[in-house]
Structure 1
Amino acid sequence: MIQIQAALFWAYATGATFAVSAARQLQWWQRSVYQEGVRTRSRAANPYLMLTVLFAAVLLVPTGLFMLWQNPSWATMQVAGGHGGIWAGFVLFYTGGTVVAIVLGFLVAQTLVLVGAGYWAYLQSVGGHFLLFGVLIHGWDGTGYRRLLTTNRTALRDWPKDSVVNDLLHFLTSGTFLALLVLGAAVIGTMLITEIGWLMEGWELPGADEDRKVPRALAVAVAAAGVYGLPFVGAVAASALVRLLGWPLGLVLFAALAGAVLLARRSPVRLLYGLVGVPRRHWKADLDLEPTS
């Protein structure tokens, strides 16, 4: 249901977020089937991966295709003026690419979780959402937010001729926004329920109490801020730096700032990540499968 230029980034980020949300269950599942047969250990037997694929196939892809059919101009960020401007193979690529991207995001994050690099799995989600918001806010020519908040090429071309308030009102009263509202309630609602549910399910497993440092409600809020709020702020900051300093210098400065915030050993992001209760150890670190009293 998002514009096509950002769809694959969103799918990858969602897959990574699902894997991080179910990190403790994935470790538990790997331990429980470690001594069993190949069929049991196969990816097709992983219930969390299969639910992630189901989410993409039932919600992400159909809603995206609906928006592409309902308003091809908005769905392509005003690149195509109508259905005739969209190559059929591009639709096929979008459909398959969305599923592949969400699976790839899940598998990369799962692999990092299982080798004890949970923070790097979380960074997969941060990176994917940063690219998503970067496309929607800045785009490739600095007009990303205009392309997001206009329904067709004419409205995009006339954006500077009217007030921003009137432009927003025109978009908010359009059929495109109404469709986004209805579809977004289903897609984003299901996505958030899944992520929060898997987090809470993981907190019931052994070791969760010692990893989670804050109450559950606060942990959910911290996780949401880290997964969605931080990349959004980063995309706004990157867009501002690019506008002020140009692409090369702006991106270099932003990369240095992002590295200090995300990669430093004592960074605030690492501190907040440690509060949520996502496991940070290798899945083989504790082979005791029975809950301790």
Structure 2
Amino acid sequence: MVQVDVFWSYGIGASFALAAAHQLRARAETGAERRPLPESGEPGGVVTDPFLTGAMLYCAALFAPSGAWLLWGFPNWETMQVGSHSMPAWLVAAFAMTNTTQGVAGYLLTRKLITAGRIRWAVLQAVAGYFSMFFILVHGWDGNGYKRFFSVDKADYRDWAARSALSNVAQWATSSVALTLYGMGVVLVPLMLAMMHRYHRQGLRAAGVRGPGGRTALAITLGTIFVGALGAAIATSLLIHLFTAVTGSIAPGWALGAIVAVPLLWSTMIRRNGLASAVARWLALPAEEQPASSAAPLPAAP
């Protein structure tokens, strides 16, 4: 979806960088990521990163075309029942572009955090990308995100109240939109997970670190996405709905929901020893580096 993919692609790029965390840390420490300049043989300013290349190829050759396919074939659904085939061409081009550029942005920022030793914040880049994606799917901008997602087109969305929620979901699950998604998912998801698994295993072996097995790593990854990020998005949406019902107005509902949700998200996901720290530990990612000011002890008084 247009409103969703900008965050999804960011999360994908961040996930690729996390999968190669050990390699990125080692390359940064040894300077191996810089290609020698031909004139002097000294390390120059050309950065070479095969893992970034893999992420870019995935986003540009698979993820972006899948979004364009869905936008052309199902413009109502792909725009969350807002747009149609009459949308301007520049918007379509911008959407296709961001499916790659946001993936690169997610990768680069996560790589920067990894090389700086901020592993917890690196993990949070992927979590934040998926949280934002799920929040839009679940809540959207008007509290009807899930209704927009489970409606094939604008007509279905307008008629949502005429059927039960279960009937709407069942009808969507057998629609041409859903069948297309199933087909794409069979190709895109296993390939993405296989690439990340390969990077992760290579990094563990190179670092001499004993990490989780393939199935365990997959369970941790999917659990972080569908329990951690999706669960947080649903909880945040419910809080906004609750306060909107109590106050009878959307703006106070959003404000009060955010006031309650932010500290909850901080305490469960963001703070040290929260979800992000646990994921880094479970996946045997490089250790978090303490700031220089706190890492070195003060000299003893004479």
**Common fold by TM > 0.5:** yes
Larger mean Cα displacement after TM superposition, 99-108 or 222-231: 222-231
- Cα distance, 1:67–1:42 mapped onto 2, change above 3 Å: farther
Query: Which residue of 256, 270, 293 corresponds with 2:263?
Result: 256
Give the letter for the 2:108 counterpart: L
The reply to whether residue 105 of structure 1 matches residue 106 of structure 2 is yes
- Given that residues 33 and 49 in structure 2 are in contact (C-alpha distance below 8 angstroms), is that contact kept between their aligned partners in structure 1? no
Q: Once the two structures are superposed, what CA deviation does each residue of 1:18-39 show, in whole Å capped at 9, x if it has no partner?
A: 1011111122333261686258
- Aligned position for 1:19: 17
The reply to whether residue 166 of structure 1 matches residue 167 of structure 2 is yes
TM-score w.r.t. length of structure 1: 0.87
- Aligned position for 1:75: 78
Q: Distance in 1 between matches of 2:56 and 2:35?
A: 24
The reply to whether residue 276 of structure 1 matches residue 255 of structure 2 is no
Give the letter for the 1:83 counterpart: H
Q: Once the two structures are superposed, what CA deviation does each residue of 1:269-290 show, in whole Å capped at 9, x if it has no partner?
A: 52343121111256xxxxxxxx
The reply to whether residue 37 of structure 1 matches residue 36 of structure 2 is yes
Query: Which residue of 230, 233, 237 corresponds with 2:231?
Result: 233
Q: Which has the larger radius of gyration?
A: 2
Higher relative contact order (CA closer than 8 Å, sequence separation 6+): 1
- Cα distance, 1:277–1:69 mapped onto 2, change above 3 Å: same
- Aligned position for 1:285: none
- Cα distance, 1:215–1:194 mapped onto 2, change above 3 Å: closer
Number of residue equivalences = 275
Give the letter for the 2:171 counterpart: H
Pairwise CA distance, 1:205: 1.4
Secondary structure at 1:69's aligned position in 2? Answer: helix
Which residues in structure 2 correspond to 1:108-257 (within 5 Å)? 108-209=109-210, 212=211, 215-245=213-243, 246-257=253-264
CA RMSD in angstroms comes to 2.0
TM-score w.r.t. length of structure 2: 0.85
Give the letter for the 1:77 counterpart: M
Secondary structure at 2:285's aligned position in 1? Answer: coil
Q: Once the two structures are superposed, what CA deviation does each residue of 1:49-91 show, in whole Å capped at 9, x if it has no partner?
A: 11111001110111111111111010101102x311x111101
- Cα distance, 1:266–1:181 mapped onto 2, change above 3 Å: closer
Q: Distance in 1 between matches of 2:266 and 2:37?
A: 40
Q: Once the two structures are superposed, what CA deviation does each residue of 1:100-122 show, in whole Å capped at 9, x if it has no partner?
A: 10000000000000011111110
